[in-house]
């Protein structure tokens, strides 16, 4: 509902003319769908052809598909066969996407493809097939194109499935800053198909596991237990094994993420538990480019904040040991040469600017809960980094973990 309030104040100015002003107030309902859709490229599955449009829409349905280069190489034939079998009038725009190409140039390339295709804004949602970078780029292009064009996400990486594909944010990097230009523009529909993970390499699977671990650490102790027991096997099997644990882990991760996002989609509340792992990591990730992947930087942040939490008595030594063991078991880094006081101090300062002048730093509370603090000191960051450096080098040498090598 939109309201218009008209104010008229007499006598403010010496002329005696009434001062007139208006306040427009409105609320825009937002609704979007996220759902598991196994075998999304099976021609018998109507989900992709109909995604993002209410009812049937015009026939034959027209679609612009923006597909990441590797995804096109691996799945392009099946995608084209799908389009033909479902009677789609479609074009495919192939775009190479990785962190260093997450720029406005990529957004313009999508906008040009939309122009060439002649998108009918209301009935022809753009379909994005790829990882987090491709979806963030297409989301931003669609949000800008004619001030808002609907789109559909089909994530093909693990980060895409559990994180980048389910929220409302779009964005690209700008200057040295991660996701500095962006909007809130959720896809009308996201189709989650874990089959795409069959071709994803180990490193990118581990990378996605970091975001699942984030949810486990701040709100889902049971999920942590599943990662502890089955995490490395799930990665080893590319999430394709027959065990119900695959569904449980992916389902809990997506549910946990959406539970946190839904009440705060526009992030007006600055204390967000899902920011866990994202306080120091944006600077680390951008400084290390292309060396660290997103989830790897997130894991470094989680390792540092776990040690800070332990020193404050929020996490027990044995809980810290379990957490670091899970990180190692998932082949995620817990230390990097950029984890030094200078860089970490700058990273924290940038986050404070981003969070309106306060740290609002989520720290783990045991396993499965979190608290916010505003008073982390440079000394605490340095201490945590130094302990992790020692742990890292001892683990490299001995193959053993924290505690086992005598650190309690
Ligand atoms: N919008 C959000 O809310 C949100 C949330 C989390 C992360 N992100 C963003 O997501 C990005 C990270 O996403 P990502 O980890 O998916 O990285 P990515 O998009 O760079 O994809 C990684 C690589 O995987 C390849 N690939 C994609 N699908 C494949 C498949 N099925 N098989 C084989 N290879 C495949 C691609 O070629 C790509 O080079 C970051 O930029 C991060 O900021 C956004």
Return the pLDDT at 15.
Answer: 67
Residue 169 in domain: yes
Return the pLDDT at 269.
Answer: 87
Residue 404 in domain: no
Q: Could you check whether the bond before residue 60 is cis, i.e. omega within 30 degrees of 0?
A: yes
SS3 8: strand
- 247 and 194 inside one domain: no
Cα(310)–Cα(407) distance, integer angstroms: 13
Match 């991660």 to its residue by tokens.
178
Predicted TM-score (pTM) above 0.75: yes
Residue 86 in domain: yes
**Average confidence (pLDDT) per 10 residues, the chain, 408 residues:** 81 69 93 97 97 79 97 98 97 97 98 96 94 98 97 98 97 94 98 98 98 98 98 98 96 97 89 94 95 97 98 98 97 97 95 91 97 96 97 81 46
Choose one of 161, 184, 199: the last residue of a domain: 199
200 touches ligand 1 (CB under 6 Å): yes
- 296 and 369 inside one domain: yes
By most ligand atoms within 8 Å of CB, the mutation choice from 159, 281, 295 for ligand 1 is: 159
Cα(291)–Cα(229) distance, integer angstroms: 29
- 160 and 303 inside one domain: no
Return the pLDDT at 239.
Answer: 98
- 254 and 282 inside one domain: yes
* Per-position b or e across 119-154, b if 16+ CB within 10 A of its CB: beeebbbbbbbbbbbbbbbbbbbbbbbeeebbbbbb
Residues taking part in catalysis: 169
- 209 and 336 inside one domain: yes
159 touches ligand 1 (CB under 6 Å): yes
Protein residue with least CA distance to atom 30, ligand 1: 200
User: Which of 133, 141, 136, 72 has its CA nearest to residue 98?
Assistant: 133
The CATH number of whichever domain residue 76 belongs to comes to 3.40.50.1970
Match 């929020």 to its residue by tokens.
314
Q: How many domains does the chain have?
A: 2
Choose one of 199, 216, 233: the last residue of a domain: 199
Cα(390)–Cα(74) distance, integer angstroms: 41
Residue 22 in domain: no
- 309 and 374 inside one domain: yes
Return the pLDDT at 26.
Answer: 94
Protein residue with least CA distance to atom 5, ligand 1: 164
- 166 and 244 inside one domain: no
Residue 118 in domain: yes
- 185 and 213 inside one domain: no
C-alpha distances (whole Å) from 356 to each of 35, 262, 269, 301, 352 are 34, 22, 11, 20, 6
By most ligand atoms within 8 Å of CB, the mutation choice from 40, 131, 281 for ligand 1 is: 131
Residue 371 in domain: yes
- 230 and 185 inside one domain: no
- 175 and 310 inside one domain: no
Q: Within 10 Å of residue 80's Cβ, how many Cβ atoms?
A: 16
Protein residue with least CA distance to atom 8, ligand 1: 164
By most ligand atoms within 8 Å of CB, the mutation choice from 135, 209, 294, 298 for ligand 1 is: 294
Is residue 377 within 8 Å of residue 324, measured between CB atoms? no
Choose one of 157, 175, 199: the last residue of a domain: 199
168 touches ligand 1 (CB under 6 Å): no
Residue 405 in domain: no
283 touches ligand 1 (CB under 6 Å): no
Residue 8 in domain: no
- 351 and 243 inside one domain: yes
Q: Which domain holds residue 244?
A: 203-261+270-398
- 187 and 302 inside one domain: no
């Amino acid at each position: 509902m939109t309201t218009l309030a008209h104010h008229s104040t007499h006598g403010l100015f010496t002329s005696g003319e009434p001062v007139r002003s208006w306040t427009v107030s409105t609320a825009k309902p937002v609704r979007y769908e996220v759902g598991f859709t196994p075998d999304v490229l099976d021609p018998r599955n109507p989900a992709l052809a109909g995604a993002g449009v209410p009812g049937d829409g015009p026939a034959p349905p027209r679609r612009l598909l923006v597909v990441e280069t590797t995804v096109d190489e691996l799945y392009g034939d099946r995608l084209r066969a799908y389009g033909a079998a479902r009677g789609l009038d479609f074009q495919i725009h192939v775009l190479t996407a990785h962190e260093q190409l997450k720029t406005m140039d990529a957004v313009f390339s999508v906008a040009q493809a939309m122009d060439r295709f002649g998108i009918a804004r209301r009935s022809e949602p753009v379909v994005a097939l790829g990882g987090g970078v491709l979806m963030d780029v297409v989301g931003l292009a669609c949000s800008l194109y004619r001030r808002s064009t609907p789109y559909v996400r089909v994530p093909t990486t693990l980060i895409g499935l559990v994180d980048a594909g389910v929220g409302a944010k779009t964005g690209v990097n700008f200057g040295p800053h991660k996701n500095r230009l962006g909007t809130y523009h959720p896809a009308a529909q996201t189709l989650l198909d874990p089959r795409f993970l069959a071709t994803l390499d180990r490193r990118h699977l581990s990378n996605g596991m970091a975001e699942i671990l984030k949810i486990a650490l701040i709100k889902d102790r049971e999920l942590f237990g599943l990662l502890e027991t089955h995490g490395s096997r799930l990665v080893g099997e590319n999430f394709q094994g027959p065990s119900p644990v695959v569904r449980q882990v992916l389902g809990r991760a997506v549910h946990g993420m959406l539970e946190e996002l839904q009440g705060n989609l526009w992030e007006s509340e600055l204390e967000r538990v899902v920011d866990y792992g994202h306080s120091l990591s944006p600077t680390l990730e951008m400084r290390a480019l292309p060396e660290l992947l997103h989830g790897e930087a997130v894991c470094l942040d989680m390792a540092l904040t776990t040690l800070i939490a332990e020193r404050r008595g929020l996490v027990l030594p044995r809980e810290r040991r379990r957490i670091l063991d899970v990180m190692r078991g998932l082949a995620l880094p817990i230390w990097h040469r950029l984890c030094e006081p200078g860089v970490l101090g700058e990273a924290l300062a940038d986050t404070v600017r981003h969070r309106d002048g306060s740290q609002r730093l989520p720290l783990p509370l045991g396993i499965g809960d979190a608290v916010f603090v505003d008073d982390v000191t440079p000394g605490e960051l340095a201490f945590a980094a130094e302990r992790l450096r020692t742990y890292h080098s001892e683990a490299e040498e001995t193959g053993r973990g924290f505690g086992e090598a005598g650190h309690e």
